[in-house]
Copies of this chain bind each other. A is one copy, B any other.
């Protein structure tokens, strides 16, 4: 198998490498990106992650315990989502598809089987039609094996009601809060119904909106996912470059933040609440810019009587090297505060517990 691949590599070398070179990416053959990325991820985190022999399915390395098991997935290209969140207090399995493509039902089914416990399995699905279809097919297959499976669907993006690949709102970076909340709840030994309820309440209380100023290039496609002029931004963009609410002239980040927040705050009443804030990089946005944005977010929320309980600023659900960011606000209650605060130990999300 390794020999065959090596020979293939050498035969196609000149042609394929040229494609890689034209892309100016740190890759080898474009069609091997997902496979090599997953191997790298597992090799870098052997105490956390294990790859199933049957394909691109990543599960917790440690012995499974009798608790509700959590599975999620979606296209690759959103790293550290989703496999970076596998570990204590978060996920048990992540199933990555090709870049920006849904994982297959077979993959998901293998993942469910690998992590299933008598307590059951909760599927956390971002609201994309292909993802939902494939997760539901896997659920049917697993239920025929007698595995108890439930699901929640995240749809936190307030930018658009329907989109390129979605009926209803898209599931975006707020999904990471759902991983944390549901994972922490499962860790307490709660029942499948209780974990599902906590996850659904997190979904009901999180809103996100994003903006981009430059696209990314899917390696296998070799061209930018969308076009944008040198002096323009795309307000309300999705995590695969799906169009948002408007193309606009570039403006200071404080004004961009004001617009993102106004959509989020119009959509749900946060007044007087405590919130967790996530400022998520689309991939290529420097931390300096995320922090400048956060500085203004903190001021605006303070003015509006919304108390920030916790802030998360960094790369949580990216879109390869897209230049952009999203803001997520999770409205908190005592349960969600405790679940956010509880211990998480994963490659990409660590929480000591408070």
Contacts and interface: CB of A to CB of B under 8 A. Distances in A.
Interface string A251-295: 111101000000000000000000000000001111111111111
A27 B289 contact: yes
A40 interface: yes
A32 B278 CA distance: 23
B288 A37 contact: yes
A38 B250 CA distance: 23
A28 interface: yes
A21 interface: yes
Nearest to A47: B354
Given A292-B37, A295-B36, A286 B24 contact: no
Interface string A1-43: 0000000000000000100111011111100010011111101
Contacts of A44: 291, 294, 298, 311, 313
Given A37-B288, A80-B287, A21 B295 contact: no
A256 B27 CA distance: 10
B40 A214 contact: no
Nearest to A84: B287
Interface stretch (A152-160, A161-169, A317-325): A317-325
B294 A28 contact: no
Given A28-B254, A287-B318, A40 B213 contact: no
Interface of A: 17, 20-22, 24-29, 33, 36-41, 43-45, 76-77, 79-80, 84, 99, 213-214, 216, 230-231, 249-254, 256, 283-296, 298, 311, 313, 315, 318, 320-321, 323, 325, 345, 350, 352
A178 to B, nearest CB: 21
Given A230-B24, A284-B284, A298-B43, A251 B17 contact: yes
B292 A26 contact: yes
13 contacts: A22-B231, A25-B213, A25-B253, A27-B289, A28-B292, A36-B291, A38-B291, A40-B294, A40-B298, A77-B286, A286-B321, A315-B315, A350-B350
Contacts of A313: 40, 44
Contacts of A249: 21
Nearest to A311: B44
Nearest to A41: B291
B288 A76 contact: yes
B288 A252 contact: no
A253 B287 contact: no
Contact of A43 (B28, B251, B295, B325): B295
Given A26-B256, A37-B295, A40-B291, 14 more contacts: A24-B214, A27-B292, A28-B292, A33-B288, A36-B295, A36-B296, A38-B291, A40-B295, A43-B294, A76-B288, A77-B286, A288-B320, A321-B323, A350-B350
